[in-house]
Chain A
Amino acid sequence: MCDDRERLIGYVYEECDPAERREIEAHVASCDTCRVEIDGLRAVRTDLLAWDVPEHESVWRPFVQPRVTPSWRDIPVWALAAAASLLLVAGLAGGALTELLLHRSHDAVLTGGPVATVQTAGVSQNDLTELQKRIITMMRSELETRERVQAPAVRTAQVVPVSTGPTDQLAQEIDQIRRSQAEFSRTVSADMNNIMNKINERSVTPISFSGVERR
């Protein structure tokens, strides 16, 4: 027992089974060497408690969950088209209204004098027409890109004759979305032309959605 240091350590740290514990206690009661050894180990354990760790502030800068913001590429083409159209309409209507209120006299309207190009807050009609063309080009490009991406999936769905599962359903859904997009574009275009007509009826400077002046 006196040479079995592992057992003494187990006893000091109270990690021995009850039978072993009783055996060690019986031995220690009659062995001064082991008793002194155990007392010494317990004393040094008490000394170890004095070792402080200095107070410190947290060193960890917490992680922050990134906010999920959609990329503009994730926005459907029809939504981009609608947003662009609304912006354009708002800009044109604002320009025309300002022109009416600030820069043209009532007489000029009646006599139908020389027609000046709309120039409001530094933005001319040509600028707006150019902007419109660029937006349309951008939307077409985006639409073509999306069609190229979608096309293989559609073709795959079409060439598999016996497929009646999710692939067919996917193809139908894609067709449905494309039909909806086309319908929506037609509706937006018609609405915008209506708005343009109404603006032109009240404006000396005829403008149209297509960028062609009307006399």
Chain B
Amino acid sequence: MTGTDEELVARATAGDLESFNQLVSRWERPIYALAYRTLGREEDARDVVQEAFLRAYRGLKGFKGQAKFSSWLYRITLNLCRDWIRKERRAPIVQVPEGTDPVDLADAQASPTESVEELVSRREMSRAVSKAMAELPEEQRTAILLKEYHGLTFQEIADMLQCPLSTVKTRLYQGLSVLRRRLERQQSEEASLRRATFESGH
């Protein structure tokens, strides 16, 4: 038994638990991704995802369909992440598995179409992006997450964050500009390091 989000929400509100399970399985990955990229740590993301769906279930009767179900879920998740960060009194974490060599990781995860060098490069970039994102102000980071990884429109983000459309665009522009400078600087530093390593070896 499947259906649109709205149909599943209606059935779940009427007490059909299986419909709610379907909503969870449909939205768990994006919600986990949002929580992980906001908090930076897998175990925190898992806790937040679980709590987000429990809150959603408890609040189903109050959800009147004024927004998309997914937008409502995103908002619940972001609120939980914000509470989590405040409770922990810390900035988002850049998680790097201890003792993990990027090349080892690449061996385990290389896809058939991607060379090991490409995968290592992508993982380095992934880490650089997560580090740069973690340093952004929360408003800019949230706007970029919702736009880049979840494909929300400017208007949807504005509705979710309850701010004017122009504010969303400004946050996106400022956030992307800062990221661009930081990533360029990091890439430049890494290139210098590689060059120095190469020269010292010869």
List chain B residues, Cβ under 8 A from A56. 32, 42, 45-46
Q: Contact check, A5 vs B176: say whether CB atoms are below 8 A apart.
A: no
A76 at the interface (CB under 8 A from B): no
Partner of A15, one of B36, B57, B126, B154: B154
Q: How many residues of A contact B (CB 8 A)?
A: 27
Given contacts A6-B166, A51-B37, contact A60 B133 (CB under 8 A): no
Which A2-59 residues have a C-beta within 8 angstroms of B?
A: 5-6, 8-10, 13, 15, 40-41, 43-45, 47-48, 50-54, 56, 58-59
Which B15-64 residues have a C-beta within 8 angstroms of A?
A: 16-18, 20-21, 24-25, 28, 32-33, 36-37, 42, 45-46, 49-50, 53, 57
List chain B residues, Cβ under 8 A from A15. 153-154
Q: Contact check, B46 vs A48: say whether CB atoms are below 8 A apart.
A: no
List chain A residues, Cβ under 8 A from B28. 58-60
Q: Contact check, B21 vs A50: say whether CB atoms are below 8 A apart.
A: no
Partner of B169, one of A6, A44, A47: A6
Partner of B20, one of A8, A9, A63: A63
B116 at the interface (CB under 8 A from A): no
A60 to B46, CA, bound (A): 9
Looking at A8, A10, A53, A59, which has the most chain B CB atoms within 10 Å of its CB?
A59
Q: Contact check, B32 vs A48: say whether CB atoms are below 8 A apart.
A: no
Q: Contact check, B173 vs A54: say whether CB atoms are below 8 A apart.
A: no
Q: Contact check, A45 vs B148: say whether CB atoms are below 8 A apart.
A: yes
Q: Contact check, A50 vs B122: say whether CB atoms are below 8 A apart.
A: yes
Q: Contact check, A51 vs B20: say whether CB atoms are below 8 A apart.
A: no
Q: How many residues of B contact A (CB 8 A)?
A: 43
Q: Contact check, A51 vs B169: say whether CB atoms are below 8 A apart.
A: no
Which B82-105 residues have a C-beta within 8 angstroms of A?
A: none
Looking at A40, A53, A65, which has the most chain B CB atoms within 10 Å of its CB?
A53
Given contacts A5-B170, A56-B32, A59-B50, contact A43 B24 (CB under 8 A): no
Q: How far is the CB of A176 from chain B (nearest CB, A)?
A: 33
As a 0/1 sequence over residues 50 to 86 of chain A, the CB contacts with chain B under 8 angstroms (1 = contact) are: 1111101011101111000000000000000000000
A36 to B147, CA, bound (A): 22
B9 at the interface (CB under 8 A from A): no
Q: How far is the CB of B79 from chain A (nearest CB, A)?
A: 18
Q: CB-nearest residue of chain A relative to B34?
A: A53
Q: Contact check, B144 vs A60: say whether CB atoms are below 8 A apart.
A: no
Q: How far is the CB of A52 from chain B (nearest CB, A)?
A: 5
